[in-house]
Amino acid sequence: MTKLTSLKSEKRLLDRRAADQIRSHILEGVLPAGERLLETQLSEELEVSRGTVRSALAQLANEGLVQQVAFTRWEVSGTSTVDAWEIYTLRGALEGLGARLAAANVSETDGMRLRAIADDLLHAIREGRFQDATGIDFDLHAAIIELARHERLAEQHRFIVQQVRFHMVQSGFLPNDYEELIAEHKALIEAVIAGDADRAEKLARNHNDAEVKLLAKLLKQGGSAKPIREKAS
């Protein structure tokens, strides 16, 4: 008899699965910013009741992907330049902490794992598979965070990375210097492996600085805080 696996993962609550579906539609850009979401329509498409859809939307609102105008409407959130600046600065702080803790915990096998992922990333870029590269990039950062053995940090990180993806989809934001990206990753994981907490933290934080500075500059000159859609106050 083959080993049995828990059914619990299958038996995810209906509202969670509804949220999963809507979330992936949003993150794939099928539902653009500002798109109105009707509870009845979603409930018909997903073949669940409105209450269940409602619960799903509430979750997505917590994740910042959707916003609610009470008694009136749900809509897909828009990410402005200000939002992007917030997302990247927060990411820097979280990954800084993560890298610091990871450097304190790292083992031999962990180090090999990190190098392997970095290698994957290198190949993806060299072969021009930039879509894959983006995913592997996120994986690498997630792997470092995992080493921190910090559940809350990991959760916040998943959350903020999701917002990064969200922003990238909406704005078409992409890295513009892949060689530098590779070099930065290399330096970061070597610092982690070497157990140099201070350096690892610093590198992790600097890793977002290019984007942050660009965004800060845009904010100063442009001033158009919410180009995509006005946020309800």
Q: Which parts of this chain interact with a copy of itself (CB under 8 A)?
A: 8, 11, 13, 51, 55, 58-59, 62, 64, 70, 83, 86-87, 89-90, 92-94, 96-97, 101, 150-153, 156
d(CA 115, CA 113): 5
What, of DNA, a copy of itself, none, does residue 38 touch, CB below 5 to 8 Å by kind? DNA
151 binds DNA (CB under 7 A): no
What is the spatial distance between Cα 154 and Cα 196, in angstroms, rounded to a whole number? 21
Q: Taking CB under 7 A as the rule, does residue 49 contact DNA?
A: yes
In this complex, which beta carbon is closest to a copy of itself, that of residue 8 or of residue 47? 8
CA distances from 4 to 1, 30, 57 (A): 8, 37, 34
Q: Which does 107 bind (CB under 5 to 8 A by kind): a copy of itself, DNA, none?
A: none
The helix/strand/coil state of 36 is strand
Q: Which of 169, 167, 163, 175 is nearest to 80 (CA)?
A: 167
Site string for DNA, 3-22 (x = CB under 7 A): --------x-xxx-------
Q: CB 79 → DNA: shortest distance, Å?
A: 21
Q: Site mask, DNA, residues 110-149, x = CB under 7 A?
A: ----------------------------------------
Question: Minimal distance in Å, beta carbon 71 to a copy of itself?
Answer: 9
Q: How far is the CB of 228 from a copy of itself (least distance, A)?
A: 16
Q: Does 62 bind DNA (CB under 7 A)?
A: no
Find the shortest distance in angstroms from Cβ 16 to DNA.
8
Among 19, 22, 74, 114, binds DNA (CB under 7 A): 74
Contact 76, 82 (CB under 8 A): no
Alpha-carbon gap, residue 207 to 179, rounded angstroms: 13
Instruction: Tell me if 37 contacts DNA by CB under 7 A.
Output: yes
Rounded Cα distance between 18 and 12, Å, is 10
User: In the bound complex, what is the minimum distance in angstroms from residue 1's beta carbon to DNA?
Assistant: 16
Determine contact, residues 143/113, Cβ cutoff 8 Å. Answer: yes
Smallest separation, CB 54 to DNA (Å): 6
- Would you count residue 232 as binding DNA (CB under 7 A)? no
Residues binding DNA (CB under 7 A): 11, 13-15, 37-40, 47-52, 54-55, 68-74
